[in-house]
A and B are shown apart, each in its own frame.
Chain A
């Protein structure tokens, strides 16, 4: 017995202290209203999450999922948000329990702090003031728990998105949080990376030492991992029973088709290497964009899919091979002949519409209405025509109520619809879209797919860079795998 007693302090370091046990979250009649908005972001939410339980909160884009997570995490700005009702983490207000709450957000690049993997995991432990000799064993333990395959000295910049996100998770778990909050942690990752992260969450929380709250509009992949699912709806929270499955987003879509037409744009052995880079971003590739057809460009991260999109869109000059427009497309351009890269922007915008992965990068004005009228104006349309086109598109895409809103303040789904609409506003005959369905909820997904099918039926040639297998299944007529 005495020997055991003496061994105890040493053992305690590795063991879980009583304060580390999982927490219980209680919300009763919880409501949140952001100071700048008239409508409440969250209303009448009742939710109890027991110790060690894993709960998924799902719901459409803009339903208040992220607001709920921020409230539970004590991350709401007290001046920017008005909170009503009751919300406690182990009986205390979330803000005072901050040290026991771990958060994994969407974008790994905005969460990594250090240049070396081990240092990054140690960061949160240093902040807790742990002595150095207690830090490294816990770092190794956390890295093993998430299945991180590299050593402590691995450069974080050399990791893929999924591996980075795993590392961020290790850094969160190293602090042994009583509550782990996951805010759409796979939304910025490809399918392989998303699977890596879910696998890491499952492994690392298998001991039920943390209560887990996941927020994701894409419920399906989390179902094997969680104990129950609740859905945020405008009226409040709905509890789904065991065996619940999310509705198939691709079900019942009657998409118009069209006869194929002539080729409008082609890549001929087109490749691209950044100046000074050792390896090519895109190896010589052939692709043809055909009127009335959708071409899906697929392949793993880093294969050059987005680079091919930039070449086809006339935004980069191929360093080998060429991109050539058909005469039908290049007819009437002021400069550059059949080479889209040399066209004036005003000629380009009415011929090739491009949608980037990040909608915000393409917004230029302060109002949704002006954003939609901009393209036609630049292409030489009159003010009246441009605004009529903008009004028609807003009506068509359910953005009419937001005509005066600032594009930056829209939800993710609304921004995505707006960015596609801006590309359509000039009625280009070629559309190039980079991951248009990334992180979109089912409703936005269906709206986008219908919109693209409509463009195809109207004779548009569409190229889509995507990881989304559902999108490829329902829409692609041709495929290029890099």
Chain B
């Protein structure tokens, strides 16, 4: 999981879309789905999103299930809880709510599966002028995440070698976890400061305007991606209005 986040660029077709274009598309979908509480709009949007799964390399059911199960569980429970606990929510409206959760979350899934963090940092700094100090600092920190996971496991085992374990006492378990978390924090701060020294020594954030070796180009396909997203969301709303289902969230309903 962590390796998938920090590894080099995925070679899936969607990786060819500029990350910034993908972020704009996510923004459009989010605004439209937050505004609409009917079942038709999210149904259309979700259908379009599902068509994109293969382009993000998520066509194999096993790979999809591994990434999407928390999401499916969340969507289903939102729908069910609303129907079960609210007397006025019909099963159809419940389905709409579940689809809405799905429609909001699937773009994130597509984005993570198809975006190389380095390309994202490049795009953010070059197109949106995000400060390089922030973007590349975050990138370096992201690389440390799997190392910290290994470190935490070692700290946990090290406690047992010193004769310390919680057994069945939940209070002792909580105290032990807090102690291990503190040790991990100390380790993370030390590692972080070493990394900061190394980055400093290579001239990071030294006041010179940073150049970018890879660049980030906005292609016609990026414009097309944003246009297609607008078109899908537009037709979803039109279909919803035409079928008499349209119910915007701010309409006092």
CB distance from B53 to the nearest CB of A (A): 23
A379 contacts B163, C-beta separation under 8 Å: yes
Contact of A119 among B118, B200, B205 (CB under 8 A): B118
| Interface flag for B209 (CB, 8 Å) | yes
Interface string of A306-319 (1 = CB under 8 A from B): 00001001111000
Beyond A102-B201, A172-B202, is A378–B211 a contact (Cβ under 8 Å)?
no
Residues of A within 8 Å of B163, CB to CB, are: 345-346, 348-350, 374-375, 378-379, 426
B164 contacts A378, C-beta separation under 8 Å: yes
> Which one of B144, B159, B162, B187 has the highest number of Cβ atoms from chain A below 10 Å of its Cβ?
B162
Beyond A115-B6, A122-B213, A155-B7, is A109–B161 a contact (Cβ under 8 Å)?
no
Residues of B within 8 Å of A103, CB to CB, are: 197-198, 201
Residues of B within 8 Å of A344, CB to CB, are: 165, 167
Residues of A within 8 Å of B214, CB to CB, are: 119, 122, 132
Interface string of B186-208 (1 = CB under 8 A from A): 11000100110111111111101
> Which one of A98, A132, A315, A361 has the highest number of Cβ atoms from chain B below 10 Å of its Cβ?
A361
Interface segment among A13-21, A123-131, A235-243: the answer is A123-131
Contact of A315 among B144, B157, B164, B167 (CB under 8 A): B157
Residues of B within 8 Å of A130, CB to CB, are: 211
Contact of B211 among A132, A361, A362 (CB under 8 A): A132
| Interface flag for B210 (CB, 8 Å) | yes
CB distance from A373 to the nearest CB of B (A): 11
Contact of A127 among B7, B151, B162, B203 (CB under 8 A): B203
Residues of B within 8 Å of A110, CB to CB, are: 191, 194-195, 198
A112 contacts B143, C-beta separation under 8 Å: yes
> Which one of B147, B195, B198 has the highest number of Cβ atoms from chain A below 10 Å of its Cβ?
B198
Beyond A73-B201, A155-B8, A349-B163, is A115–B158 a contact (Cβ under 8 Å)?
no
For chain A residues 362-394, which have a beta carbon within 8 Å of chain B?
362-364, 374-375, 378-379
B208 contacts A127, C-beta separation under 8 Å: yes
B213 contacts A361, C-beta separation under 8 Å: no
| Interface flag for B86 (CB, 8 Å) | no
CA distance A403 to B212 in the complex (A): 52
| Interface flag for B179 (CB, 8 Å) | yes
| Interface flag for A206 (CB, 8 Å) | no
CA distance A356 to B183 in the complex (A): 15
Beyond A153-B8, A310-B157, is A113–B164 a contact (Cβ under 8 Å)?
no
Beyond A105-B194, A175-B203, is A115–B208 a contact (Cβ under 8 Å)?
no
Residues of A within 8 Å of B160, CB to CB, are: 314-315, 345, 348
CA distance A387 to B140 in the complex (A): 44
A111 contacts B195, C-beta separation under 8 Å: yes
CA distance A375 to B198 in the complex (A): 38
> Which one of A136, A349, A408, A422 has the highest number of Cβ atoms from chain B below 10 Å of its Cβ?
A349
Beyond A115-B6, A310-B157, A315-B157, is A378–B147 a contact (Cβ under 8 Å)?
no
Residues of B within 8 Å of A310, CB to CB, are: 157
Q: List 30 A-B contacts (CB under 8 A).
A: A101-B201, A103-B197, A109-B144, A111-B195, A113-B195, A113-B198, A113-B202, A114-B118, A115-B6, A115-B7, A115-B118, A119-B213, A124-B202, A127-B210, A131-B211, A135-B213, A155-B7, A155-B8, A157-B7, A171-B202, A172-B201, A175-B203, A345-B164, A356-B161, A361-B151, A364-B162, A364-B164, A364-B179, A408-B186, A423-B161
**Residues of chain B whose beta carbon lies under 8 Å from any beta carbon of chain A:** 3, 6-8, 116-118, 136, 139-140, 143-144, 146-147, 151, 154-155, 157-165, 167, 179, 183, 186-187, 191, 194-195, 197-206, 208-215
* Given A124-B202, A345-B159, A364-B164, 19 new contacts (CB under 8 A): A75-B200, A98-B206, A103-B198, A105-B194, A105-B197, A110-B195, A113-B195, A113-B204, A114-B139, A115-B117, A115-B118, A119-B214, A123-B136, A123-B199, A126-B210, A128-B211, A136-B213, A353-B161, A364-B159
Those 8 A-B pairs whose CB atoms lie nearest each other, nearest first: A378-B163, A349-B163, A124-B202, A127-B203, A110-B194, A345-B165, A111-B198, A103-B201
**Residues of chain A whose beta carbon lies under 8 Å from any beta carbon of chain B:** 73, 75, 98-99, 101-103, 105, 107, 109-116, 119, 122-132, 135-136, 139, 153, 155, 157, 168, 171-172, 175, 310, 313-316, 344-346, 348-350, 353-354, 356, 358, 360-364, 374-375, 378-379, 408, 422-423, 426
